[in-house]
Amino acid sequence: MTITVQIPTALRRLTAGAGRITCSATNLGELFSVLDQQFPDLNPHLRDEAGQIRRFLNVYVNEEDIRFLGGNTYAFQDGDEVLLVPSIAGGSAEAVDVEPSVS
């Protein structure tokens, strides 16, 4: 069984530029272990101090949020496409008033 994992651009600096890997992980825990082994610097971006999936990391399997597929208990199927999506925050702390222009 083989799954494909897509690594987003924001995390590729931790994977030596790899944007996609294939592996035979059967669930999320195994997948994270494979990623930890291949890319140790990626670990803190995937798991928190307790070893749980980071709160601001979204995992999609075949474009479906893994939380709705059973979360950590979801068993990957042959050919699954897994996408890791870290939440990105930002913006200005300063409020900006924009007045609509009237033509």
> Which positions ≥6 away from 78 have C-beta within 8 Å?
1, 2, 3
Helix H or strand E encompassing 36: helix 28-38
pLDDT at residue number 55: 86
Burial of 15 (0-12, 13-18, 19+ CB in 10 A): middle
> What's the pLDDT tens digit per position in 31-73?
999 999 999 999 999 988 888 888 889 999 999 999 999 988 9
Torsion sign over Cα 52, 20, 56, 71: negative
84, 11 contact by CB (below 8 A):
yes
**Structural domains in the chain, sorted by start:** 3-86 (3.10.20.30)
pTM over 0.85: no
